[in-house]
Amino acid sequence: MSSEFDTAAAQLRLHDATPAPVTSSPVLRGIGLRKKYRSGTSTLEVLRGVDVELAAGEFVAIVGQSGSGKTTLLHLLGLLDAPDGGEVHLAGTRIDTLSSSKQDLIRNTQIGMVFQSYHLLPELDAVENVLAPLYVRYGMLEWLRRRHDARQEAVALLERFGLGARLSHRPRQLSGGEMQRVAIARALIARPQLLLADEPTGNLDAASGAGILETLTELNQSDGLSIVMVTHDTAIAARAGRVIKLADGCVEQQLTTPGRSAHAPPDFHERPARAGG
Amino acid sequence: MYKLLLCWRYLRTRWIALASVVSVTLGVATMIVVNAVMAGFSHEMQTRIHGILSDIVFESHSLSGFQDPDWHMEEIRRAAGDNIAGMTPTVAVPAMLSFQVRGQWITRQVMFIGIDADTHASVSDFGEYLQHPANRQQLSFDLREGGYDTQLDADAESEPLRPALENAGWPYRRERVEQEKLWRQQQQAAGGPVRPLDQHVDAVLAATEDPAPPSDTTNSTDLDAAAPIDPFRQARPDEGRTMDPATEQFAGIVPGIGLASFRDRSGVDRFLILPGDDVKVTFPTAGTPPKAVSNTFTVVDFYESKMSEYDSNFVFVPLEELQRMRGMIEPETGIGSVNSIQIKLAEGANLDEVRDALRKAFPPELYAVSTWRDKQGPLLSAVDMEMAVLNILLFLIVAVAGFGILAIFFMIVVEKTRDIGILKAIGAGSSGIAGIFLGYGLALGIVGGGVGMALGLTITWNINNIRQAVEWWTGQRVFDPSIYYFFNIPTIINPFTVSWIIAGAVGIAVAASVLPAFRAARLHPVEALRHE
Ligand SMILES: Nc1ncnc2c1ncn2[C@@H]1O[C@H](COP(=O)(O)OP(=O)(O)OP(=O)(O)O)[C@@H](O)[C@H]1O
Ligand SMILES: [Mg+2]
């Protein structure tokens, strides 16, 4: 079980292969990403050449109308789907053309994902859901060796998110906000470089949504986690350091939120907005 | 790791999947029970056949047989070397067994076999099949003073008794003679005509409600001469004196129990003749052309191999007696002839090799050499065939169960589509996803097969209790001993067969999960995540 990941990791050597200084290249980069869906005779071009960059420690929000392709873009960046054109780079390495086992490994170790509808596994309790990426990564023996530390870490994460009393609850016994916090903990357990969140507050009431947003902001500011968050609420987008607006399959506008750009490198601020403003 | 965990959780939360393996369970249980019972029957039959027949039968093609069995045995020993553990000569001829029950003559066609009382038990299980404990130790053709087994099987409790054997032997013979004398005196006192004895015996017995019917007591060398002469006149032509039937007997005879009794619906054996009764046997002499001769014998025991084919066909008498009666003894030299030699092989000797060696050593025009398997080949292969066909049919049932698993697994994959998307999103590979469902199939197969094994073994171990319970419940005999000749259903559990059955069931469960697992592995993560 573990071997497939171990060999993939050995072959990949993601960090060794990119000795270039991290500051000069962004953590995540999408170049000219295209995606079209074919249904019968008509073709729907959802993304037609989208460029996005995320510097280390940056918090970017992607906004756009419903159906503008935000989720599609996030899936391409998170390797859940293959683009019809363009490239995805993670820390300077092109990742969209890697073999599927290497992509599996990157999803498991480098990228944390949070979804609008939480997507927890109903058969597992909160702690087990948080540990799921580690279950996937380790084989039986490896897991037995690490189980104690891993469990402590998962409990610590849940406690940090105020779920110390919900450790052995199943997802259906949790509220939406609690489930989303479990999902965030799951995304973080593998200590990824990058968090991709697709409308994490979309199904929540205002108060819970604000709590989730608070958590993400804090992770970005105190842990330096790079975050891409999709939302169509401009008020929420305003919490991010930078906002990318999608329209008609292209990046319509990039806005830098004043005072919320502490972690973004300078050159990002000077980047001109694409297309008409 | 997640594969195991999720397999376990799916197993615990999806009882419907367990329902799909119920058919696997039942199939496995049925196969185990059927195989155990069939193997039990087959084994029982083989041991019986083997117990009746010696390892190798060396026989002459002609009824008159061959001369000088001692010389032949020496030759056989020379040809087969150390492989021989024991030998005994026998004479077997077709014959008619006649006895009288309540005034009626009953005649049966039998195989009349002369055996050497001292050595015969050493080549086959012959001794074990006798009804008197002392005869089982060492057969004697002298009538015993009673003590015949009244229980069919010493260790079985529920089995019916053979009350008629309680009194068998000398006490029965004396009692019968006494009754006859009494009756004759009454007849003479009344001045009535002397009629054939048996009708009167019948009347006496009917009056006393004796469960044991009388048998022929006329002692004539010829069946046609059953005339109202003195019934206690000595029958042997070579001895001209009169014998006293209360203290003397004719040559001993051991008929198969099927010839002497029948089992009624309640399972109690009813005897037509008993040890102590006299019977007549008509058989061909050894001369050319053979002439039919008759002789009277006294029943001293019964032979019960529980193979009805033999029990209702074989009749054993002392070898020398038969040789003499058939004229098989050379008057000048005193050397007898026999028509077969039964050979028992030493432990570990190869049956077929010894047979082939003997076939080479003796001219095939005169002698036939066959193993006990050769003799019963068609029967044994028919049983094997039956078992194979049954196994194929039952295995098809398990295979059909596989399709149930397939359908339910597809349902579960559809139901779990989103979870599969989640697992892929957090980095699970396609092979890992397939592994969950294959492992799930394996687990279900093991659960189904394991429960099936437990069920099958429990049923097999308790099959006779179950049989009794069913009989008690329905009031019907499920396993009619008058047909099968044994009271308990014999079973043999072969661990090898059981493991094959389990392996087959698990294999089918895994095979049925391959397609759903493949489908799950192929699911596109995005499609899966969008699935509601
Ligand atoms: N598998 C598919 N086949 C065909 N069309 C698809 C498929 N998946 C997505 N689309 C289309 O692509 C477009 C973009 O979808 P996407 O989910 O990315 O939008 P979105 O911006 O996330 O919208 P929302 O804000 O409502 O979540 C939509 O018009 C959708 O209908
Ligand atoms: Mg969306």
**What is the value of ipTM here, to two decimals?**
0.85
Confidence category of residue A18, pLDDT binned at 50, 70, 90: very low
Could you tell me if residue B367 is inside a domain?
no
Sign for the pseudo-dihedral over CA of B454, B458, B463, B469: negative
Report the pLDDT value the prediction gives residue B159, as an integer from 0 to 100.
53
Residue B297 sits in the same domain as residue B400? no
Q: Per-domain residue ranges for chain A?
A: 117-191
Do strands B84-101 and B66-67 pair parallel, antiparallel, or not at all (unpaired)? unpaired
- A4 vs B424: which has the higher pLDDT: B424
How far is Cα A108 from Cα A119, in angstroms, rounded to an integer?
16
Residue B172 sits in the same domain as residue B286? yes
Could you tell me if residue B371 is inside a domain?
no
Q: How many Cα neighbours within 13 Å face the side chain of B231?
A: 21
Place of tokens 């990058």: A194
Alpha helices in B121-196 (DSSP H): 133-137, 170-190
Residue B28 sits in the same domain as residue B102? no
Report the pLDDT value the prediction gives residue A34, as an integer from 0 to 100.
94
**Tokens matching residue B392:** 């194929």
Confidence category of residue A239, pLDDT binned at 50, 70, 90: confident
Could you tell me if residue B507 is inside a domain?
yes
- A4 vs B311: which has the higher pLDDT: B311
Residue B317 sits in the same domain as residue B434? no
Residue B37 sits in the same domain as residue B103? no
Residue B170 sits in the same domain as residue B315? yes
Residues of chain B with pLDDT under 50: 155, 158, 196, 198-239
Residue B96 sits in the same domain as residue B10? no
Could you tell me if residue B268 is inside a domain?
yes
Confidence category of residue A229, pLDDT binned at 50, 70, 90: very high
CB contact under 8 A, B426 and A113: yes
Task: Give the pLDDT confidence of B307-333 residue by residue, as tens digits.
Answer: 777 888 899 999 888 888 888 887 777
* Amino acid letter for position B426: I
Q: How far is the CA of B527 from the centre of ligand 2 (A)?
A: 13
Average pLDDT over residues A241-265: 73
CB contact under 8 A, A133 and B426: yes
Chain B hits for A70, Cβ within 8 Å: none
Residue of the CA atom closest to atom 29 of ligand 1: A67
Ranking A90-104, A127-141, B293-307 by mean pLDDT, the lowest is B293-307
Range of the domain at B413: 2-47+379-531
Report the pLDDT value the prediction gives residue B153, as an integer from 0 to 100.
58
How far is Cα A9 from Cα A1, in angstroms, rounded to an integer?
13
Report the pLDDT value the prediction gives residue B262, as an integer from 0 to 100.
80
Residue B259 sits in the same domain as residue B135? yes
CB contact under 8 A, B432 and A100: no
- B145 vs A74: which has the higher pLDDT: A74
Could you tell me if residue B311 is inside a domain?
yes
Report the pLDDT value the prediction gives residue B425, as an integer from 0 to 100.
92
Q: How many CB pairs under 8 A join A and B?
A: 79
Residue B107 sits in the same domain as residue B193? yes
Report the pLDDT value the prediction gives residue B97, as an integer from 0 to 100.
92
Report the pLDDT value the prediction gives residue B224, as an integer from 0 to 100.
42
Report the pLDDT value the prediction gives residue B123, as an integer from 0 to 100.
82
Report the pLDDT value the prediction gives residue A61, as an integer from 0 to 100.
93
**Tokens matching residue B400:** 């059909």
Q: How many structural domains are present in chain B?
A: 2
Could you tell me if residue B64 is inside a domain?
no
- B124 vs A161: which has the higher pLDDT: A161
Q: How far is the CA of A37 from the centre of ligand 1 (A)?
A: 9
Report the pLDDT value the prediction gives residue A273, as an integer from 0 to 100.
45
Residue that finishes a domain, picked among B334, B349, B364: B334
Task: Give the pLDDT confidence of B369-424 residue by residue, as tens digits.
Answer: 988 888 877 877 888 888 889 889 988 888 888 888 898 889 889 988 999 999 99
Q: How far is the CA of B531 from the centre of ligand 1 (A)?
A: 13
Report the pLDDT value the prediction gives residue B460, as an integer from 0 to 100.
92
Report the pLDDT value the prediction gives residue B487, as an integer from 0 to 100.
66
Q: Tell me if chain A has a CB within 8 Å of the CB of B525.
A: yes
Point out the ligand nearest to the CA of residue A246. Answer: 1
Measured from CB, residues less than 6 Å from any atom of ligand 1 are A 37, 39, 44, 46, 64, 66-72, 232
CB contact under 8 A, A138 and B429: no
How far is Cα B131 from Cα A59, in angstroms, rounded to an integer?
99
Could you tell me if residue B39 is inside a domain?
yes
Q: Tell me if chain A has a CB within 8 Å of the CB of B373.
A: no
Task: Give the pLDDT confidence of A19-50 residue by residue, as tens digits.
Answer: 434 444 689 999 999 999 988 889 999 999 99
Residue B385 — φ and ψ, nearest 5°?
-60, -45
